[in-house]
Amino acid sequence: MLDNATYNLMETATVISKGLHRYGTFQSDAKNCQHCQQIWNEMKQADEKQLEKIVAHLRQHMQTGGATKAA
């Protein structure tokens, strides 16, 4: 069983990852508004950066045994 900290990292990485694919649709929907496209692009970049940070730290948790022993 995963400890809470490791589980939380995995859950957050999953949520961010699932959301990243939507930005293409958002940018396409905003094709007539350059400012909207810029906003979506900036948000996508921020999410990608957050995901990289979370995944890197999640690797550390997994390498150091980010699991609790089942009772």
- Residue 6 CA to residue 54 CA, distance in Å, equals 10
pLDDT > 90 fraction of the chain, expressed in percent and rounded? 79
Mean pLDDT for all residues in the chain: 90
Residue 1, both tokens: 């069983």
Sign of CA dihedral 14, 17, 21, 24: positive
Averaged pLDDT for residues 3-31: 94
pLDDT in tens, 23-44: 999 999 999 999 999 999 999 9
Averaged pLDDT for residues 59-67: 81
Provide the residue count of the chain.
71
* pTM summary value: 0.81
